[in-house]
Amino acid sequence: MDFYDRDIVSIKDFTREEIEALLDLSEKMVPYAMGEKTWKPLSGRILGNLFFEPSTRTRLSFESAAHRLGANVIDVSEMSMTSISKGETLADTIRMVDAYCDAIVLRHPHEGAARLAAKFSINPVINAGDGAGSHPTQTLLDLFTMRSCKGSIDGLNIVLVGDLKYGRTVHSLSDALTVFGAKLTLVAPEQLQMPDDIVRHLKEKGCPVRQTDSLEEVISDADVLYVTRIQKERFPDPTEYRKVAGMYRIDNSMLREAQKDMIVMHPLPRIDEIAPEVDSTEHAKYFEQAFNGIPVRMALLMAILGGEEI
Ligand code: CP
């Protein structure tokens, strides 16, 4: 499959076969991601990291992935440090950064920003999260983690809990899970339910979807519990945030109802939705999931910059 020079804007742009090919390549990258082996096929290439919203994992794992493969990184982590603060448009900013590097990784507060950037960049653009829109590279590492932990994704009962309205990770992930034949249970308070158009789309694609606000009701059926943070920064009204903050909290007493091999995932950062006592249980896979960002992003960079045939 040929990913060379391709934009990574939405997970919807990929077939199951393409996703599986990327996951297979990611598996091969693990010893390099861990520093056990070295390989510098992207020596001399430059990655441009533009992060106009806070990030720890996505920004640093892209940077780490690039360094592990021998590429250099130029980066900006605040919009106020660019000429956007003087009134330059995103389109012109992208044209400039495009001239200075071989691929652009963009995180932006506005939905659709990555698609717009891809229009103005000759080199490939990778969407690292666009507002409440999507986060396709997070989805790839989520799928990689599920496949590594459970052997296969087909037929898994996956419970998504938390902020399903504004959560770009669950928007991208739920879409990808439909092509893997997973069953979805969506757990959220009334105010943070998955948007209707996404639920309709999931059902149209033949995905069994159950919706509830009670995690206790469904936890015993879950193969994967995917927890998300209720995102204070996305609420237009802080009093609305306070009504739902802390509504779901996974702790060891709740996990007593779960299957022994049920895994708990979270894109992170977490605030109080997973108690620290869960970290040392066999269920906890969220730190492993965050590490998986490196091999998966190495695979992606190899595929789009290195022209690796996969
Ligand atoms: N999962 C994720 O996107 O984390 P960051 O916001 O820290 O990049």
Percent of the chain with pLDDT over 70: 99
| Alpha helices (H) in 34-156, listed in sequence order | 57-68, 90-100, 113-120, 136-150
pLDDT of residue 200: 97
Query: Looking at the domain 11-134+292-305, which fold is it?
Result: Rossmann fold (3.40.50)
- Compute the distance from residue 268 Cα to the ligand 1 centre, in Å: 6
- Please state, in angstroms and rounded to a whole number, the distance separating the CA atoms of residues 160 and 168: 12
- Residue written as tokens 């996956």? 158
- Compute the distance from residue 58 Cα to the ligand 1 centre, in Å: 5
pLDDT, tens only, 56-72: 999 999 999 999 999 99
Quick one: which atom of ligand 1 is closest to the CA of 59? 8
**Residue whose CB lies within 8 A of the most ligand 1 atoms, among 53, 58, 64, 287, for a mutation test:** 58
Q: In the chain, which residues have pLDDT < 70?
A: 307-310
> In this structure, which residue's CA is closest to atom 4 in ligand 1?
57
Residues counted in the chain? 310
pLDDT of residue 308: 63
- Compute the distance from residue 273 Cα to the ligand 1 centre, in Å: 16
For ligand 1, which residues put their CB under 6 angstroms from it? 55-58, 129, 138, 267-269
- Please state, in angstroms and rounded to a whole number, the distance separating the CA atoms of residues 287 and 278: 12
Backbone angles phi, psi at 32, to 5 degrees: -75, -35
State the pairing for strand pair 103-108/209-212. unpaired
> In this structure, which residue's CA is closest to atom 5 in ligand 1?
55
> In this structure, which residue's CA is closest to atom 1 in ligand 1?
267
Amino acid identity, residue 129? Answer: G
11-134+292-305 and 136-290 agree in CATH topology: yes
Quick one: which atom of ligand 1 is closest to the CA of 129? 3
Domain boundaries, the chain: 11-134+292-305, 136-290
Quick one: which atom of ligand 1 is closest to the CA of 60? 8
pLDDT of residue 205: 94
> In this structure, which residue's CA is closest to atom 6 in ligand 1?
55
Question: Between vectors from CA 57 to CA 102 and to CA 274, what angle results, nearest 5°?
Answer: 160
Strand partners, 127: 106
pLDDT of residue 221: 96
> In this structure, which residue's CA is closest to atom 3 in ligand 1?
58
Query: What is the per-residue burial (b if ≥16 Cβ within 10 Å, else e) of 163-177?
Result: bbbbbbbbbbbbbbb
Quick one: which atom of ligand 1 is closest to the CA of 128? 3
- Compute the distance from residue 59 Cα to the ligand 1 centre, in Å: 8
Quick one: which atom of ligand 1 is closest to the CA of 293? 1
pLDDT of residue 245: 85
Superfamily of domain 136-290, CATH level 4: Aspartate/ornithine carbamoyltransferase (3.40.50.1370)
Edge-first strand listing for the sheet containing 224-227? 209-212, 183-187, 157-161, 224-227, 263-265
pLDDT of residue 241: 84
- Compute the distance from residue 51 Cα to the ligand 1 centre, in Å: 11
pTM attached to this predicted model: 0.95
**Residue whose CB lies within 8 A of the most ligand 1 atoms, among 52, 138, 172, for a mutation test:** 138
Residues 6+ apart with CB under 8 A from 34: none
- Compute the distance from residue 293 Cα to the ligand 1 centre, in Å: 10
pLDDT of residue 235: 84
